Amino acid sequence: MDEAIVREHAQALCDAIAAGDIDRATEDFSPELRSKLGEVIAQLPLPVREASVESVEHGAKGLIVDLRLLGESEAVRLQTRWKERDGRPTIVEVSHIVEPVASTAQEEPAG
């Protein structure tokens, strides 16, 4: 599977998520992942203000693409695993890591 093509598909996914177009965002999802769509959407920082591809790397079972989604109160990093299915890049797995947005107020240490 070609990294450049997967990166293009991942960027299209980011653009669709940022635009709020879930139908377009899920075009590259596997049927198994589509059946769990509610679980994936529940992890997004809606509304998404920005979305970008952070990295594309070869993994043991396909290409691993890290995405960064920025909402109003949190940033979410999604790690997606892509495989070639029916001759096209397909997302077969999504996992997430929630990162807090840096606060402008600094807290004093207790004690």
Asked if 44 and 66 touch (Cβ cutoff 8 Å), the reply is no
Closest CA to 40 of 101, 90, 96: 96
Facing residues of 36 across strands?
none
How confident is the model at residue 43, as a pLDDT?
86
How confident is the model at residue 74, as a pLDDT?
87
Q: What is the mean pLDDT of residues 44-52?
A: 93
Integer Cα distance of 9 and 70 in angstroms: 19
Residue 87 — left, alpha, or beta (φ > 0 → left; ψ -120 to 50 → alpha)? left
Closest CA to 31 of 104, 91, 79, 106: 91
In this structure, what DSSP letter does residue 29 have? B
Strands (E), 4-73: 50-59, 62-70
This prediction has a pTM of 0.84
The string of pLDDT tens digits covering residues 19-37 is: 999 999 999 999 999 999 9
Domain range annotation of the chain? 3-99
CATH number of the domain at 3-99, out of 3.10.450.630, 3.50.50.60, 3.90.1150.10, 3.40.50.80? 3.10.450.630
